[in-house]
Amino acid sequence: MSSNLYQNDIAFELQIKKIDESRQGETLTAARPTGIRSNGKKYYIESYGCAMNFADSEVVASILAGAGFDATTDHNDADLVLINTCAIRDNAEQRIRHRLQHFNSVKKRKKGALVGILGCMAERLKEKLLVEEKILDIVAGPDAYRSLPDLVLEAETGQKAVNVLLSRDETYAEINPVRLNSNGVTAFISITRGCDNMCSFCVVPHTRGRERSRDWRTIVEEARDLYNNGYREVTLLGQNVDSYRYSDDNGLVGKKLVNAKYDDNVVNFAKLLVLVAEVAPDLRVRFSTSHPKDMTDDVLYAMAKYPNICKYVHLPVQSGNTRVLELMNRSYTREWYIDRMNAVRRIVPDAAIATDIIVGFCSETDEEHQDTMSLMDMFRYELVYTYAYNVRPGTTAAKKYEDDIPEEVKKRRLAEVIEMHRSHTLASNQRDVGKTFEILIEGVSSKSEEQLFGRNSQNKVIIVPRGNLKPGQYVYAKVNSCTSGTLIGEVVEGM
């Protein structure tokens, strides 16, 4: 599972509820490429789920801009309404269906308006969506975004336009994403697509296809372009970034690497981290998500060596019990995970660590749940994305195992995880009171226009008085107080 999935249904519901009001009056800087004239049509796009989906929407925006479309933040004004979907949870899918029904009002008011669904849910449900969601005109899977202009033309004739074919080589490598609703400071860069891990609970390999790595040169160039345009932090994205591996010998492009520092003709994730970090010393580099079976020490040594590689690792464990991990097909044991965590603590001692935890997986006992709790107590994560197991059609778990844990048991276990995590984060934040951190200012605090927020290398949010500060600045902040989720401080002179 990706690191930015919704932790519960309430969060998902709130996002849908707030979208219209929060986007009113926004201006998207979705400039068309030089020489491309406007076709007089506007598109509107909403994204749900993981960071990969939001990054994909920026690719879609670039493709549509190249076809002459203009962007709008008001779906009532759109000729083309798109929703980029998440298929991780059944409740997420149901809420997206409700959102699609809401867009029916657009078609009633605006003659010729089209509604399309993109992403994982589009690939998983395919033609079923066209039958059940009668307002849909377009269905495009994660590897079909280049065909969107043609799909629009087909839908304009009254036909239902569908392309959900998965690709073995599509990475959208040369497409320069349009930064939708950007703060101008932080940005995502996709480095891989798809997943080969086949965790038994997960739909991603079925909806996004096999794993493939993007040419490292296009990644570095995208990071350099972002830096030259004022961005000061990039997050390298993949379902499993640690398995990134690019070689010109794999037949995708070229003959040899142009950077002589890596003359072994292979760029792995540790080398990619270094290449991006060397774009500029004041360009922060983050990454998400890692997999315990693939995180090697060379990645950690790169983090330790380069100050601008943020000291934050998202290392999903899912369960603290080896038997359950085997059922999940996670390809590591409890002991292996502990070894990797100890390596993080040893090589990057100031790193903050986040994780994912699933409670109530098929046949999980209370004793096995306590193994997960003991692991939480051992490592005291800074952030935990928590889920009660939700069976997904088509996965190995759905085919082989019975979802036999009662819902009340799942809820109890979930509450125990959340309660322990809150106590850990409060204690961690309290230990930071009195300390000074370098932070990158990202924007205005949600609480007050007179305050700004930034993050330190460990990904902790620190609120400071606005003063004359601007987003994109690095400042030092001394922490004066805290809540369980936020540090509150003041700007001070450098350390």
Residue 101 confidence (pLDDT) above 70: yes
All domains of the chain in start order, with CATH: 9-163 (3.40.50.12160), 186-430 (3.80.30.20), 433-492 (2.40.50.140)
Residue 482: strand pairing partners: 487
Confidence of residue 253 (pLDDT cuts 50, 70, 90): very low
Q: DSSP letter string over 164-219?
A: ----SS---TT-----TT--SSEEEEE-EES-----TT--HHHHH-S-EEPPHHHH
pLDDT at 33: 61
Of 176-185, 259-268, 408-417, give the range with the top mean pLDDT: 408-417
Burial (0-12, 13-18, 19+ Cβ within 10 Å), 29? exposed
Q: What is the mean pLDDT of residues 15-25?
A: 39
Query: According to the model, what pLDDT value does residue 61 have?
Result: 95
Backbone phi and psi for residue 218, each to the nearest 5 degrees, phi listed first: -70, -30
260-to-162, 215, 221, 248, 265 alpha-carbon distances in Å: 45, 16, 17, 14, 9
**N-term to C-term CA, the chain:** 38
What local confidence, expressed as pLDDT, does residue 383 receive? 96
Model pLDDT for residues 359-372, shown as the tens digit of each residue:
999 999 999 999 99
Supply the pLDDT for residue 493: 87
| Mean pLDDT on 2-6 | 34
Question: What is the pLDDT of the chain when averaged over all its residues?
Answer: 88
Q: Please tell me which residue, 110 or 356, carries the higher pLDDT value.
A: 356
Distance CA 178, CA 60 (A): 8
Cis amide bond preceding 396, omega within 30: no
Q: Are 360 and 5 in contact (CB under 8 A)?
A: no
Q: Which two tokens stand for residue 308?
A: 């601008």
280-326 confidence digits (pLDDT tens): 999 999 999 999 999 999 999 999 999 999 999 999 999 999 999 99
